[in-house]
Structure 1
Amino acid sequence: MKKVDRSMVTTANELHGHRVAVSLGVVRGITVRSRSVIGNIGAALQTLVGGNISLFAELCERARSDAFDLMLEHAAELGANAVIGMRYDANEIAQGVTEVLAYGTAVMVEPSR
């Protein structure tokens, strides 16, 4: 599957060294994740000692990465070569089930002169 290059994504409203030639609209990638029973038990044990709960951190990182990749695929489908104004959003939609959304504006950019 074709995707926009990760280096062509920014949270800013412009991409340094480039100018927006065409704005193609909002793109998004969404993933929905749940915690497994085993993961919950492992994480519960980690909370007893305090600090970073690595099992949940890894789950969150995977969810964000998957949503980001889906957003890049959506942008490429529209013919974009960059995404500006990129953001993440997350919501718990049921007990232990979280939606992660990556979104931004798909654009065609060209080098600044």
Structure 2
Amino acid sequence: MVLTLDLHEGLCEHCLLDYKRDAAEARAQGAARRADIAQTISNMLVTTETHLSEPIAERIEVISAEAVLGMNIFRDIGAAWRDVVGGRNKSMQDELRAARKSVLNELKREAAELGANAVIAVDLDYSEISGGGKSMMLLVASGTAVKLGV
């Protein structure tokens, strides 16, 4: 038996229209806010201690984002084969590239949630975690969330 809950039960027609209008406005505001954040953080990462075009008005805090990648057996076999014959391992490169983009986007989101409009001194650290016949890759992006401007 499936029990569904009607959230609109007991509302008059006028109240139901108000409820639907308010819900649509809230969705639109949420979409607009996400678009504003995306615009704000689109070009906000720098690896230097200062920003080239604007002074730093406030240093907020050090932030980081992490990704742990499981390298499956087929990638491990491919990597071992590349160790023997040489050359580049495209599948691992693609995985690392996707992880880098993911952690940098996560770093931007975290900065925006703190009210920052830039992240300075961005650093990427890669490490291998292995043992017990398993290998994983750890990627950490860190930086300082700041507000730019006067």
Normalising by the residue count of structure 1, what TM-score does the alignment of the two structures yield? 0.84
Q: Which residue of 2 is the match for residue 60 of structure 1?
A: 96
What's the offset of the Cα at 1:36? 1.2
Q: What amino acid does structure 2 have at the position aligned with 1:76?
A: A
Size of the alignment, in residue pairs?
Answer: 111
CA distance in 1, matches of 2:46, 2:84: 38
**Counterparts of residues 26-105 of structure 1 (less than 5 Å):** 26-95=62-131, 96-105=135-144
RMSD after superposition: 1.9
Decide which structure has greater helix share.
2
- Structure having greater relative contact order (Cα 8 Å, sep ≥ 6): 1
Percent identity at matched positions? Answer: 29
What's the offset of the Cα at 1:30? 0.6
Q: Look at both structures and tell me which one has the larger radius of gyration over its CA atoms.
A: 2
CA distance in 2, matches of 1:7, 1:102: 16
Structure 1: runs of 5+ lacking an equivalent: none
Q: What amino acid does structure 1 have at the position aligned with 2:101?
A: S
Normalising by the residue count of structure 2, what TM-score does the alignment of the two structures yield? 0.65
Q: What amino acid does structure 2 have at the position aligned with 1:40?
A: D
Decide which structure has greater strand share.
1
- Native 8 Å contact 1:8 1:15 kept in 2: no
- Post-superposition Cα deviations, 1:21-54, rounded to whole Å, max 9, x if no partner, equal 1111111111111111222233334444422221
Structure 2: runs of 5+ lacking an equivalent: 1-33
What's the offset of the Cα at 1:109? 0.4
Residues 32 and 105 of structure 1: CA distance in aligned 2, closer, same or farther (over 3 Å)? same
Partner SS, residue 46 of structure 2: coil
Partner SS, residue 7 of structure 1: coil
Please identify, of 11-20 and 39-48, the stretch whose mean Cα deviation from structure 2 is larger. Answer: 39-48
